[in-house]
Amino acid sequence: MSAPMIELAKVSKSFGANQVLRDVDLAVQRSEVVCLIGPSGSGKSTLLRCVNFLEPYDSGDLRIDGRLIGYEDVAEGTRRPMAARTLREMRREIGMVFQNFNLWPHMTALSNVAEPLRRVRKLASREAADRAMAMLTRVGLAAKADAYPSRLSGGQQQRVAIARALAMQPRLMLFDEPTSALDPELVGEVLEVMKSLAAEGMTMLVVTHEMGFAAHVASRIAFIDEGRIIADGPPRRVFHESPEPRVRQFLQTYQDRNSF
């Protein structure tokens, strides 16, 4: 059995005096879809952002496909920050989708997707444009290739953002509350794209509040509370059979609010 695609071992992180992640252990295998759920302030976004080292973690091991990210082991027990270039190389293999899309407003949808291919993968304009178009078609937005982000709905913008991340052909994808900033009617189109990605075998780590998606698409649910993972297992087990009071309390408020 090969190394997990993402592996966290005793990862901790503090913001000043505030400890946000406490000795977190988590593994995401190849082609697994793991959904991170939990109350706000629990550290889920921070955990996700540590995976591609957008946030540096303080201690523990974070490995991508077996390789330590963010630090290099120098000698026994000591480590130094990873060289910028190496970090960039590793980031090429990790796709990330943000809550507020972060599309570049001064570029068209096509340019948004093609730009990383040109700057980071160093493809020629023609090739980059072709690949970008293929990706936009994949997410159902070929017709909007020449539109600027300000002319696209939230759901469309997020799909372009997914296309941009996908175009880089990453080995895994990180999703930071991808539908939280969307109007309810637009959530579905984004979840559909994510579902199809999962069906194709993409390794995904998703921070989300969409319990329906988590229940039906996730291989595993990890529940994080106050910086610790207190439940980790298949959706059925976590949603219906969890002994943890915090988990049940959290899910109860969801059921109360979402049934009518």
Partner 1 sequence: MKPEVILHSFGYLTQAAGTTVAVSFAGIAFGFVIGALVCVARVSPRPWLRRLGAAYVSVFRGVPLLVQLLFVYYFLAKYGLDVPAIVAAVGALALSSAAYQAEILRGALNAVPRGQGEVATALGFSGLDIWRRVLLPQALRISTPPLINEFILLIKASSLVSVVGIAELTRVSMNIATQTYRPLEAYVGGGLFYLAINLCLAGLGAVAERRLAGAGGR
Nearest residue to 41 via CA among 21, 61, 66, 70: 21
Nearer to partner 1, 90 or 194 (CB): 90
Nearer to partner 1, 106 or 126 (CB): 106
Nearer to partner 1, 165 or 247 (CB): 165
Please provide the DSSP assignment of 43-109 as one string: SHHHHHHHHTTSS--SEEEEEETTEE-SEEEEETTEEEEPPHHHHHHHHHTEEEE-TT----TTS-H
Q: Half-sphere exposure (CA, 13 Å, Cβ side) for 116?
A: 25
Q: How far is the CB of 240 from partner 1 (least distance, A)?
A: 35
Euclidean distance between CA atoms 212 and 195, whole angstroms: 12
Nearest residue to 208 via CA among 41, 54, 29, 45: 45
Euclidean distance between CA atoms 133 and 213, whole angstroms: 27
Nearer to partner 1, 57 or 98 (CB): 98
Nearer to partner 1, 10 or 151 (CB): 151
Q: How far is the CB of 164 from partner 1 (least distance, A)?
A: 8
Nearer to partner 1, 138 or 220 (CB): 138
Q: How far is the CB of 200 from partner 1 (least distance, A)?
A: 21
Euclidean distance between CA atoms 227 and 23, whole angstroms: 8
Q: Half-sphere exposure (CA, 13 Å, Cβ side) for 69?
A: 28
Nearer to partner 1, 81 or 234 (CB): 81
Q: How far is the CB of 226 from partner 1 (least distance, A)?
A: 25
Q: How far is the CB of 31 from partner 1 (least distance, A)?
A: 22
Q: How far is the CB of 96 from partner 1 (least distance, A)?
A: 4
Q: How far is the CB of 116 from partner 1 (least distance, A)?
A: 4
Q: Are 163 and 152 in contact (CB under 8 A)?
A: no
Euclidean distance between CA atoms 54 and 51, whole angstroms: 8
Site for partner 1, rule CB under 8 A: 52, 54, 84, 88-89, 91-92, 94, 96, 98, 100, 102, 104-106, 115-116, 119-120, 148-151, 161, 164-165, 168
Q: Which residues pair with 63 in a beta bridge?
A: 7, 68
